[in-house]
């Protein structure tokens, strides 16, 4: 039994692969290069490291990332989809510059407290190529400002009183 347990422990550690994610420092953000081979689908390298195919970021409290962006840098014609925690997030803005390169921009990405994964999928490619490269930037995060509940209720109450006063004035006329 002891031999089997030792063998299982050895196999678990010997067969463990890389995590496959590049860390984003929440206070610094991240800027760099990513690439892909083999056609459409998820990217397969970050900064020339073929074991990395996504980024992860851990935030201690609800936070907002001001900018998440990607832009083509290899051959014009490539386009990307942005994924957060496995779900596609629609770009706030996309455009193709004068040279034909795709740009995708997402503003104010809200991140709940915890760890999140970010990645890109290639959705269109330059004719005649099944590989390429592009750049991405993730800005540092800022703590999300909570809604001040007492002030919100005060504003709601003041608005309701204003409507009641207008109605009373209208009925008196």
Domains annotated for the chain, with CATH where assigned, are 17-172 (2.60.120)
Residue 14 has pLDDT above 70, yes or no: no
pTM: 0.72
Residue pair 118/42 in contact (Cβ under 8 Å)? The answer is no
CB contact at 8 A, 108 and 66: yes
13 CB burial (10 A radius; 0-12, 13-18, 19+): exposed
Q: Is the pLDDT of residue 19 over 80?
A: no
Which residues are paired to 119 by β-bridges? Answer: 83
> Is the CB of residue 28 less than 8 Å from the CB of residue 138?
no
> How confident is the model at residue 2, as a pLDDT?
59
């Amino acid at each position: 039994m002891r031999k089997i347990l030792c063998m299982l422990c050895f196999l678990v550690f010997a067969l463990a692969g890389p995590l496959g994610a590049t860390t984003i420092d929440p206070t610094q953000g991240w800027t760099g290069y990513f690439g892909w081979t083999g056609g459409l689908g998820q990217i397969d390298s970050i900064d020339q490291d073929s074991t990395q195919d996504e980024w992860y970021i851990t935030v201690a409290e609800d936070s907002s990332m001001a900018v998440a962006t990607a832009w083509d840098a290899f051959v014009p014609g490539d386009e990307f989809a942005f994924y957060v925690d496995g779900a596609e997030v629609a770009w706030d803005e996309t455009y193709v510059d004068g040279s034909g390169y795709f740009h995708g921009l997402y503003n104010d990405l809200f991140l709940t407290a915890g760890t999140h994964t970010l990645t890109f999928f290639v959705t269109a490619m330059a004719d005649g190529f099944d590989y390429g490269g592009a750049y991405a930037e993730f800005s540092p995060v800022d703590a999300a400002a909570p809604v001040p509940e007492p002030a919100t209720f005060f504003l709601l109450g003041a608005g309701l009183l204003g409507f009641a006063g207008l109605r009373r004035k209208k009925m008196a006329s």
